[in-house]
Amino acid sequence: MSTLRALAKAQALAAGVAQPVATVRHLHLSPRPLVLVPLAMAGEANAPLAALVGTAPGDARLLIVPQPRNRDQRFAFAAELAGIVLPYLDSFRGVSEAVAVDRGRDVRYRYVDAPQLLLPNPGGLAFLRLFGRSTRFRRPDGEYPVHPSVPLLGRWLTFFAERAEHPGSSALLAMTEALTLHWATGQSAVEDLHLPAVLGWLDPPPGLDGARAAARAEDPAVCPPAGPATDPEFDNKVLAPAIAAYTDAADDETARRSAYAELELALRGQLAPTWELMWRGVGLLAALPPGARVEGRWAGDRDAFTSHAEHVDAGGGPQPRRDGAVAAAVRLHRLERAGTSYAVQRAYDDPLVMAEHRLTGEAFVADVTLADPRRVDDTGKRPVLRPRIQVVTTEPVAVPVGATLYSTARPGQKAKVVFLTPAADGKTEVVLELSGGMGRGLTAPPGTVPEVGERLSLTTLSDAFLPAGAFPDPAETPWTHGGPPAAATFDQALGPADPPGAGAGAGAGAGVGAGVGVGAGVASTPVVGPSDGDPAEDWA
């Protein structure tokens, strides 16, 4: 928690309403997001109970599982959900754009838009991840067949859940996190997990302040929880009798239909308030202007969507239960790079975020007082353009001589600290030597060197490309990391021939080929238990 954010929380508490901690929106917001509000059955291992799902406020579809302990009904729910999610995903696969790769020597394609899933809270995300896990290994054939769309849904949900861990991705967002990224409430992080309370602070109803609105939102009788856990009182007093009535109706068609309607009514009553809050959240976020680097990060989401769609098309297997050593290291490295770059990009996009870095001495704002744009350094083999500027700042400068700074206005240009001189009134004079971003000649094009009087925001944070690390092939996993994955599990991991889209004959072959092609990502499953296709899942 930065002091700036903590101060915003204190101000929110004193003012009785949430305070902004961002001046721009740091995430992409789709014009047509798929909002999903899931509910799970208490006590069960990720058994879906109901969901409201749709792409517009007036287009909520209610899915329910009248007997959540019944395996067939759970997979019928999965198939029904797939019937909404998969066509939604497909609707983004119309138009592609060409992207130059390898310095223009090659080209690849990516979809011009991508799907976006919105859930109420991190608990919803965890539910979705486990629901993906429980469906992606299912088979449309064999002893316990499911609808072919079920494993496909599982792979896509897993893709979204993994993407959600990627810092800066907007493919799958939890509304509570999206909102608290931009506003500070007057409550703790634990309480910020409750969507109705967060919106109570952001947008209190008339006559209430944030604290009162949030307290009111905590009463499940007034405001049902935003899931996936249900209110125990609701379970005991409403849901249990309704499920019992449905079960008791058995073959009596009339009684069953009325019991079903009763269940739908009860569950809709629990879900509808959250649905409404989700769209209010979308509205609040949409009112913020997007940050300059949001579009670039969304392109990364579009890339990921495109490549997963191609993987699925090629009959590629489901994501492994656990990453192997190499795949895990690669993934961790990727997440760390994304995390670093996301933090820097937010600071560059948003002066309020940069202010957090200024407070810790990683950035300062200064005025240019002298500029020598024509300075050439000819001490080396050939002369190079190295303009120098002097800036003056009133802020404490915590960087040493020799450090490299970047200006938010010219992120491609490096500024090396040459001299640091304390001046009158506690000010500091800094002499900087510039390199990069000025063309190849010995004369800087106009505008590439800051002019006298210009105000610069200088920081040690670099938005430059971070090179990827080098990792061994999974087959050469060092013994310190368990050695190469066993050959048998290797084959098993590659061959889940379950290609609903592909022709039956080509299925198995295509599966193996695609698996090898994508390499490290899939090839290193450590354990594939024989019993999981299984399903001795008798519940009840």
Partner 1 sequence: MTSTAQRLAEIRGDVPPRRHNARTIAALTGNPGCARRAVLDSAGVDKPKLAERVGFPARFGQSRFAITRGNTFEAQVKADGGAELLRLVAERLGVDPGGPATWTDLGADDRPGQSGQSGQPDRSARSRAALAAAAPTGAGEQAALFDHPLLGLDVAGQRVHLEPDLVAARLAGRFHVVEVKSFPVIDGQADPGKVAAAAIQSAVYVLALRELLAAEGHDPELVSSDVLLVCPRDFANQPVASLVDVRKQLLVLRRQLDRMARIDDLLAGVPAGFTADPAADPADLRRSLLSVPARYAPDCLAACELAYFCRHATRAETATLGRPVREALGGVATVAEALALAGGEHSGQPEQAEAAALLRAAARLRADALAGRPA
- The smaller minimum CB distance to partner 1, of residues 186 and 484, is found at 186
Copy the structure tokens of residue 371. 């500029």
- The smaller minimum CB distance to partner 1, of residues 115 and 227, is found at 227
Residues from 159 through 198 that contact partner 1 (CB under 8 A): 186-191
Query: Whole-angstrom Cα distance, residue 192 to residue 157?
Result: 25
**Under the criterion CB under 8 A, does residue 407 sit at the interface with partner 1?**
no
Copy the structure tokens of residue 143. 């002893």
Q: Which of 18, 226, 352, 371 binds partner 1 (CB under 8 A)?
A: 352
Residues from 77 through 136 that contact partner 1 (CB under 8 A): 130, 133-134
- Specify the DSSP class assigned to residue 290: B
Q: Which of 16, 42, 70, 513 binds partner 1 (CB under 8 A)?
A: 42
**Under the criterion CB under 8 A, does residue 220 sit at the interface with partner 1?**
yes
Of 357, 367, 444, 449, the residue nearest 410 (C-alpha): 449
- The smaller minimum CB distance to partner 1, of residues 158 and 448, is found at 158
The H-or-E segment that residue 446 falls in is: none
**Under the criterion CB under 8 A, does residue 72 sit at the interface with partner 1?**
no
* 3-class DSSP assignment, residue 219: coil
Q: What backbone torsions phi and psi does residue 110 show, to the nearest 5 degrees?
A: -145, 155
- The smaller minimum CB distance to partner 1, of residues 115 and 210, is found at 210
Query: Whole-angstrom Cα distance, residue 41 to residue 433?
Result: 63
* 8 Å CB contact between 485 and 522: no
**Under the criterion CB under 8 A, does residue 492 sit at the interface with partner 1?**
no
Per-residue interface string for the shown chain with partner 1, residues 9-38, x marking contact by CB under 8 A: xxx-xx-----x--x---------------
* 8 Å CB contact between 217 and 196: yes
Per-residue interface string for the shown chain with partner 1, residues 228-257, x marking contact by CB under 8 A: --xxxx-xx--xx-----------------
Copy the structure tokens of residue 66. 């009248």
Q: Do you know the residue count of the chain?
A: 540
**Residue 458: other Cβ atoms inside 10 A:** 25
**Under the criterion CB under 8 A, does residue 426 sit at the interface with partner 1?**
no
**Under the criterion CB under 8 A, does residue 463 sit at the interface with partner 1?**
no
Question: How many CA atoms lie less than 13 Å away from 135 in the CB half-sphere?
Answer: 34
For residue 228, is the peptide bond before it cis, meaning its omega torsion is within 30 degrees of 0? Answer: yes
Query: Whole-angstrom Cα distance, residue 433 to residue 402?
Result: 10
**Under the criterion CB under 8 A, does residue 391 sit at the interface with partner 1?**
no
How many residues at the interface with partner 1, by CB under 8 A? 61
- The smaller minimum CB distance to partner 1, of residues 377 and 537, is found at 537
Phi-psi region of 367 (alpha: psi -120 to 50; beta: other; left: phi over 0): beta
- The smaller minimum CB distance to partner 1, of residues 163 and 358, is found at 358
Q: Which of 108, 139, 321, 337 binds partner 1 (CB under 8 A)?
A: 321
Contact positions toward partner 1, by CB under 8 A?
Answer: 1-11, 13-14, 20, 23, 41-46, 130, 133-134, 186-191, 211, 218, 220, 230-233, 235-236, 239-240, 321-322, 351-352, 354-355, 358-359, 365, 394-395, 455, 457, 532, 534-539
